[in-house]
Amino acid sequence: MSGSTISHSVVDPTPLARRVAGTLVVIYAVVSMIPLLWIFVTGMKSPPDSISYPPKIVFQPTAEGYCNLFTTRTRQTSEYVKSLGEPEGMCDEITRARNMVIAGKSNYWPRFVNSLIIAFGSTFCAVTLGTLAAYGFSRFKVPLADDLLFFILSTRMMPPIAVAIPIYLMYRELGLSDTRLGMILLYTAVNVSLAVWLLKGFIDEIPREYEEAAMIDGYTRLQAFWKVVLPQAATGIAATAIFCLIFAWNEYAFAVLLTSGTAQTAPPFIPTIIGEGGMDWPAVGAGTTLFLIPIFVFTVLLRKHLLRGITFGAVRK
Amino acid sequence: MAKEKTIADRAALATPEPLARRIRGLSDRSIAWLFISPTIILLLAINIFPLIWMIKLSFTNYAANRPNRVIKDIGLRNYERILNDPDIWFAMQVTAHFVIWTIVLQTIIGFSLAYLINRKFRGHAFWTTLILLPMMLSPAVVGNFWRFLYQPQIGLFNYIVSFFTGIPPSSFDMIGSVALAPWAIIIVDTWMWTPYVMLICLAGLRSIPDYIYEAAEVDRASPWRQFWTITLPMALPFIMLAVLFRGIENFKMFDMVNLLTGGGPGSTTELASITLKREAFEKWRTGYASAFAIILFVTVFGLANIYVKALNRVKQR
């Protein structure tokens, strides 16, 4: 931070300042990654390894966590297990080594599929509605536009539990409790506010002259929207969609209060994974890892638009 | 608006009759409403209608698990009881403790990190993306895994603390002890959301033009003075934005804390949202919970109002 020698541009930090800053940031990054690494590592441990003291960093990796995640098992006598004959596949072998047999499939996969359907369904709806509304707000003089935009944003600020009370009653009346359709509708409503605000920012950045030129060439307003604006806004729409996906994928409060079975998503299910005598931490680690991987990918894809997404489009860098 | 119409009209005159009819067929105003109304209708149906229903319920003794009971109109008694309920006041204190400490820690650490990253050391883009990861993940699923990290004997957190301080790892229980549990949730929240504050602060620091520092350098202002008279004041709107947003989000915090401590031990980490969930979905005092939800909602709405004003101020820069 020495600025007295003007051998370099005054606003450029000195090499030493850079190196110190870099070291501190890397230390923070590494420390903050430890919990995430531990989730991944725990998923590959055997149950005894996962609860050993001191915590094991070197261990024999096993697929037991993943096997337990996808199956339900029953304990049997060792004579019975021996009498069964050849095990079918790796998971069968691992399970039998613990004197257990696979009784069936667990609910993890159906819950994961629910998460996928609800996240993609609600994202599609929210982005479609959001794109239309954002175009409307961006290009036309809408009466009370600022009030409507504030109203749209404020719906996202509501505490989820407060929203869940009347939604619970309403869905019970309408027969939407514990249905995927109900969850898709709800997540669409929550996400559409984000979609409108983000997409309005993106569409505002597309010059009006493009559409006007297209309309002089004989396009109708709708054709100009479809053939000129949408392709121009593609990146923004994709970024918005990923933000909506992440929200719907991560959501827990509505899911735990409004779903219990057929439409339950993964977040309320993962904490209920238990083994014999308490939490089955390797299975939880495995389930959490699989659940987080899509988000890792999305975060890397989104990194240029992150700032915009988390501030409702206010800060654009 | 007027200019567009003339262009559209000119286009209409210059184009063949069927096309011209189509242009006139859908006026800009009808397109605007066609585009915006689906979003507004969805939000009215999923957010506003239930909200009005909830306001109605808040004046009754309705219990959702006893739908056949006669609903009595009890006026403002629910509100009166909430304001005199020591449990509610305790929950508000717990929430205030959580909100204040998370904001203080996240702002200090987040701003420092942003300041360091702004030194633009080698590889800062990669490390920034890595640091951002925790905030993108599901607070519920990750919060659930922190229960494992906080286990007294086998948890990694306790092990690391004992490694550096020498305190035996089984001598303290982060989520089971009345004194430590409030800090357990603050630590997890700070770990997750410091990147959020960091990202917004970074945008603030990058928005400060170099020439201001160059001018300060010419005036021989010390680095210390530059920080207090240029860097901090100019980044302040961004810091305020981050603080306000974290304030709103943590005021309604539910998912991570519900899974990590469930409000316990006793009610030491029972935040407002968790109290609300207990009243509404465990004790089934729907009318009472509705009144509390309204109070929380009004509070958040007030904060959101300030938030939008702050957003607009940042936008103008």
Closest CB to B132 among A167, A218, A306: A306
Query: B11 vs A169: CB contact, 8 Å cut-off?
Result: no
Q: Residues 6 or more apart from B38 whose CB is under 8 A from it?
A: A129, A132, A133
Average pLDDT, chain A: 87
Q: Which of residues 78 through 97 in chain B touch A, CB cutoff 8 A? A: none
State residue A156's pLDDT score. 82
pLDDT of residue A101: 84
Q: For residues A60 and A236, what is the distance between their CA atoms, to the nearest angstrom?
A: 45
What is the tens place of the pLDDT at every residue in A180-208?
Answer: 999 999 999 999 999 999 999 899 999 98
CA atoms within 13 A on the CB side of A274: 4
Count of other CB atoms within 10 angstroms of residue A213:
14
Helix (H) or strand (E) holding A75: strand A71-75
Average pLDDT rounded to a whole number, residues B204-220: 89
Return the SS3 of A281. Answer: helix
Contact B28, A140 (CB under 8 A): yes
- Partners of residue A53 in chain B, C-beta under 8 Å: 153-154, 159, 169
Is the torsion defined by CA of B137, B139, B145, B150 positive or negative? Answer: positive
Question: What CATH number does domain B81-315 carry, 1.10.3720.10, 3.10.180.10, 3.40.50.720, 3.40.50.300?
Answer: 1.10.3720.10
Q: What is the pLDDT of residue B1?
A: 40
Which amino acid, one-letter code, is at B229? T
Measure Cα distances from B132 to A132, A147, A302, B99, B197 in Å.
Answer: 31, 33, 11, 21, 10
Q: Helix-strand-coil percent breakdown of chain A, rounded to 5? A: 70, 5, 25
Residue A2 pLDDT grade (very low, low, confident, very high; cuts 50, 70, 90):
very low
Q: Which range, A219-223, B28-32, B90-94, B212-216, has the best average confidence (pLDDT)?
A: B90-94
Residues of A (82-141) whose Cβ lies below 8 Å from B: 129-130, 132-133, 135-137, 139-141
Residue ranges, CATH 1.10.3720.10, chain B: 81-315
Structural contact between residues A46 and B142, judged by C-beta atoms closer than 8 angstroms: no
- Picking from A20, A28, A146, A288 by the largest number of B CB atoms within 10 A of its own CB, the best residue to mutate is A28
pLDDT digits (tens, 9 = 90+) for B245-299: 899 899 999 999 999 998 878 889 999 999 999 988 998 988 899 999 999 988 8
Chain A residue whose CA is closest to B53? A166
- Read out DSSP for A77-133? -HHHHHTT-S--HHHHHHHHHTTEEEEEE-SHHHHHHHHHHHHHHHHHHHHHHHHHH
d(Cα B282, Cα B292) in Å, to the nearest integer? Answer: 15
A170, amino acid identity: M
B54 CB neighbour count, 10 Å cutoff: 24
Domains in chain A (CATH in brackets) are: 63-106 (no CATH), 109-272 (1.10.3720.10)
Q: Is A278 helix (H, G, I), strand (E, B) or coil?
A: strand
Taking residues B126-139, report their average pLDDT: 90
Q: Which two tokens stand for residue A178?
A: 């514990």
